[in-house]
Amino acid sequence: MSNQKVVELLKMYNKPEIWEDNSIYEEIEIVLDKIQTPGFQFADRERFILSELTKGLLAVVESTLDNITDQGEKAALLITVVDILSFLQLLGER
């Protein structure tokens, strides 16, 4: 999986109901679209909200990982965890 796949997962995970303020949802949607532009640089606020969303996604994937017994599925999710951690590193979070 690449950063592009993590962005796709973030787009699926970003829902208005996880944010107290709907404008944050809309702001993230814009950032997720812009992030695919070559040479895109994060503003501090964009980096922060993407980090928060990504940490939430990571928590969901890790909790799912705890409940999976199939080794093939578990291996695929472990790859996803590594990719999400790499994305967080890109954001300067880990």
Say which amino acid occupies 53: L
Evaluate if pTM is beyond 0.75.
yes
Contact 2/83 with Cβ under 8 angstroms? yes
Q: Which range marks the domain in which residue 27 is found? A: 3-90
pLDDT for res 6: 92
Contact 68/77 with Cβ under 8 angstroms? yes
Task: Note the pLDDT tens digit of each residue in 6-50.
Answer: 999 999 999 998 888 889 899 999 999 988 888 888 889 989 989
Length reported for the chain = 94
Task: Note the pLDDT tens digit of each residue in 73-85.
Answer: 899 899 999 999 9
Report the SS3 class of residue 36. coil
CA pair distance 14, 53, nearest whole angstrom: 7
Is 94 a residue whose pLDDT tops 70? no
CA pair distance 78, 64, nearest whole angstrom: 11
Our count of domains for the chain comes to: 1
